[in-house]
Amino acid sequence: MKELYSIGADIGGTTVKLAVISTDGVIVKKWEIPTDTTNKGANITADIKTAIELALKELDLHKSSILGIGAGAPGFVDSSTGYINEAINIGWKNFDFGNELQELTGLPVWVDNDANLAALGENWLGAGRGVDNMIAVTLGTGVGGGIVANGEVINGANGTAAEIGHMLVKTSGGAPCNCGRSGCLETETSATAIVRKAKEKFQEYPDSNLSKLDNITAKDVFQAAHQGDRAAAEVLQNVTDTLGLALSNLTVVTNPSKIVLGGGVSAAGDQLLTPLKEAYDSYVLPRAGEACTFELAELGNDAGVIGGAFLVKQYHKG
């Protein structure tokens, strides 16, 4: 019997990650191409098509061996049509991406939000494997999320389900968000937020070791807190408390058995998980909290392409 494969594509503002993946989840080839954001991203679809053709030639795979393409894009995605309502970092707006990629490649295409695909990847082969109900959170420059409920990723009526980075957590005095509002979870708990809050703390703690650094990163804040820096410790206490409250509220909505944390900030490991779990436990409905464990994501940068392959596996007919 002929081996069949799927192609996962994870489209980011800097690179497009691509992979050819077998139906049992083995990555045969993975690679990246630059994301050409010129002319409002008009060349990206053709670049993906060319990259796939070259890879199949290199692997000596005929197109008939490919079940389809599962692609993830940032922003608001209508998964039922593959239509990108808006992807700010790329330049797409009201773009019929799924149909265009399908016409160019001649392959079936399924599209979803990139955070949803990362959640599917972790649910299939990563830290969330084998569970029907989970929340995946990506803590990086921004905050992304994906929710799997009863074995299915939640998309919502128009593709905005699980945009947890845009949960309003500060109703006054919050920092502006790229969604046009202020006080979103993204502006309070992302790596960007951690750095901003640390700089604000300098006024209160001018002797903080962080004030001596030229370019502060979230990693610097975690390291300073570990070394006893009070300003850094207070920043992280605020961040974990806010995130713990947000996750506890999501828990009573979806009742997950796992919350999986990924993204650059999650590299802090137990220094993040321990206070976050403490905050979560203090807020969550006890019975709902008893069913849920916290896990660090396992797939790293491969989560999106693996989730794309799973999307094909899930929806391909025949």
> pLDDT tens digit string along 126-183?
999 989 999 999 999 889 999 999 999 998 888 889 999 999 999 999 999 988 999 9
**pLDDT tens digits along 197-242:** 999 998 899 999 888 888 999 999 999 999 999 999 999 999 999 9
Contact between 202 and 211 under an 8 Å Cβ cutoff? The reply is yes
This prediction has a pTM of 0.92
Q: What architecture is the 5-121+301-315 domain classified under in CATH?
A: 2-Layer Sandwich (3.30)
Pick the CATH number of 130-297 from 3.40.50.620, 3.40.50.300, 3.40.50.720, 3.30.420.40: 3.30.420.40
User: Which residues fall within 8 angstroms of residue 112, CB to CB, at 6 or more apart?
Assistant: 70, 71, 72, 77, 79, 120, 153, 155, 307, 311
pLDDT digits (tens, 9 = 90+) for 64-122: 999 999 999 988 898 888 999 988 779 899 999 999 999 999 999 999 999 999 999 99
Domain locations along the chain: 5-121+301-315, 130-297
Domain 130-297 in the same topology as domain 5-121+301-315: yes
From the CB of residue 253, how many other CB atoms can be counted at a distance below 10 Å? 11
Share of the chain above pLDDT 90, in %: 86
Q: Is 311 helix (H, G, I), strand (E, B) or coil?
A: helix
Neighbours of 203 (CB within 10 A): 9
The helix or strand, by DSSP H or E, that contains position 92, with its residue range, turns out to be: strand 92-95
